[in-house]
Amino acid sequence: MVEWTARVDNAPPSSPLLLSGLLLDDARSAPSAGWIEIDRGRITRRGSGSPPGRSAAGGPERIIAPGFIDAHVHLPQFPAIGCDAGSLLTWLEQTIFPVEATWADPAEAARAAARGLRRLAGSGTTGFAGFLTSHRHAVEACRNALATLPLRAIAGQAAMDRAAPTDLLGQPVLRPLPAPEPRFEASVNPRFAVACSASLLSSLGGLAGLTGALVHTHLAEQRDECALVARLFPEATSYTDVYDRAGLLGPRTLVAHALHLGPAEWALLAARGVMIAHCPTANLFLESGIFDLAAARRHRIPVLLGSDIAAGADPAMPRVARAMLDSAHARRAMGDAHAHVPTAADAWEMITRTNAHLLGWHDHGRLRPGDAADVLVIRPPGPVDPFLVSRLIYGWEDALLDAVVIDGRLVSPA
């Protein structure tokens, strides 16, 4: 019987950790029986067959897989899941801004950050890129919570200087950004062009250029948002051009949604090497549209997957992956002859290795010696056959998680 840790300590475990089961580190191949050894936050050994000792978790009927990565999540917004209030701009005003305003109290920010991390870990997410609130202490609240439950994270203040309640404005972006740590990196997060003046966007572009930090923002989520941006920035040729003029577009830029783009905008994103965070559950919840995966493929634009909590109502990345497949099928069913429908294996790779590698975490997504020990122990939802990965995507329940290993520490999904 496994004895779960109630919290994750910074001190390394006193002895290596063994996990055994069916090793699933390539969704396009059948899992193989074997084991991995974990020590000081890293996978140190891997073997086939029976483990060379007592396993801390797993077994012959368990799947051992890399942890999930969420490429776009708003950590403060978990209390707003399922709170529908119409269009994006109305939803922000009536639902999201009041929730984010509670982070004005540093103690509440710390508690809320910890609750958000627990929700992510409980669904098998071991790393994320995301938004905090606009408060200057939001980054510190996140870092402190990560010290207890050390998910891998790239996160930053939601920078904005207009189109929001006054108690969320007047919060200057941290300068300098905190230095990168092994498990945490601060990002530059202009909320979106509606909430940012041209001067703020240019300032953030300069900050990103000086630091090399990831730029994480939103782009072209809804048509009325795009129309408002056109009125706010009449000198720009498009929504995408607004960010380009501010120096915000480049290979270290991640834009969420990108649903309503013209041909020139697709070409500009491709030319700058920008990445797109596809958030299918959020796109459906707010009726924003269906992302054009085929257009991204034609332009060779890297695509990641994100839950977009709280517009997305589900932190479980396999269910986000299923929503991507459902959306792609719907696009094709509605007559788009060029629609691209990924396979279930493609979807599983996206929420593990692809998301991680595009975020710069090249030691994640495989179960190899030297890789980060962010690992899941999963009960198969049915027979272990050629449809295993498809069953995991379409039949995912968080109850399938037996254990989560975060930075080498075994923790209970509960």
Query: Each residue of 148-172: pLDDT tens digit?
Result: 999 999 999 999 999 999 999 989 9
Phi/psi for 284 (5° steps) reads: -75, -40
What is the distance in angstroms between the CA of the first residue and the CA of the last residue of the chain?
16
CA–CA separation, 98 and 94 (whole Å)? 7
- Phi, psi torsion values for 32, nearest 5 degrees: -120, 145
Report the half-sphere exposure of 125 (CA within 13 A, side-chain side): 29
A 10 A CB-CB count for 184 gives: 19
Token duo for residue 7: 């919290």
Using CA atoms, how far apart are residues 46 and 23, in angstroms rounded to an integer? 10
Asked if pLDDT for residue 85 goes beyond 80, the answer is no
Residue 126 main-chain phi, psi, to 5 deg? -110, -5
Task: Judge contact between 185 and 219, C-beta under 8 A.
Answer: no
pLDDT at 14: 57
**What number of residues does the chain have?**
414
5 pLDDT higher than 50? no
Q: Please name each of the domains of the chain with its CATH number.
A: 17-67+366-411 (2.30.40.10), 71-358 (3.20.20.140)
User: Residue 176: is the preceding peptide bond cis (ω within 30°)?
Assistant: yes
Instruction: Tell me the per-residue pLDDT of 17-26, one tens digit each, with 9 for 90 and over.
Output: 999 999 999 9
d(CA 385, CA 116): 35
Mean pLDDT score, 171-193:
96
